[in-house]
Homo-oligomer: A and B are copies of this chain.
Amino acid sequence: MHAAIETLDAGGVDALTFRSLASQLSTGSGAIYHHVANKEDLLTAAADAVMTSVLDGAAAAAGADASQGVRAVVLGVFDAISAHPWVGTQLAAAPWQPAVLRLFDRVGAELDALGVPERAQFDAASVLVHHVLGVASQYDAGAHLASAQPGGRFDRSAFLDGATSALTGEVDAADLPFLTRVVRQLQNHDDREQFRAGVEIILVGISHL
């Protein structure tokens, strides 16, 4: 499992094959099936291991301030995904996998400590978790944009630079009037700041429940 996470960190999901993992562990590829049921299981377990360690770390960072607890948890997960982009992909790939459940549970506990009414806790936790997952799913944009791009993708740097063609491939900037207009205020855009702003919007909404 440790070895799998190393490979994933180094080369992403494509780099992790049963053959590569077997040779790294100096064993046969079939031997891995004695420890996991299949590849999906392997990725699920790897993501769960990362999430468990992140949530433990977030506990320490939050300290005694209940109002900062949710923020610490959720930003901790964001930072983990920045460091291990494959985790973001994996969280969004398999529904209700252990890593997501742990996150959900922890967010719910923090909301409880924050004094959110009991009947509203599930909905509230749900929005925060979905926000994290939504951001996570889009997060490896950087990694993808850094390499050569197939058609149909958004080139954010080109967009932000105000290049004539904001989009590569089949989508025309003229079809996206809002993004074209709003992009000017985003010259020094920071993914983490935007994630945080989203969390604050949601927390305001939750505080009115």
Contacts and interface: CB of A to CB of B under 8 A. Distances in A.
A141 B96 contact: yes
Nearest to A37: B150
Nearest to A208: B204
Interface stretch (A2-10, A18-26, A61-69, A128-136): A128-136
> From DSSP, what is the main secondary structure of chain A's interface residues?
helix
Interface string A43-77: 01100100000000000000000000000000000
Interface string A109-142: 1001000001101111111011111110111110
Nearest to A123: B197
A201 interface: yes
> Taking the full assembly, how many copies of this chain does it contain?
2
A94 B154 CA distance: 10
Contacts of A198: 123, 126-127, 130
Interface residues of A, number: 77
Given A150-B37, A156-B96, A201 B123 contact: yes
A40 B149 CA distance: 11
Contact of A194 (B123, B177, B179, B194): B123
Contacts of A121: 178, 182
A92 B137 contact: yes
Contact of A95 (B44, B98, B140): B140
B153 A97 contact: yes
Residue picked from A40, A108, A137, most chain B C-beta under 10 Å: A137
Interface string A79-116: 00000000001011111111011101110110010000
A178 B108 CA distance: 6
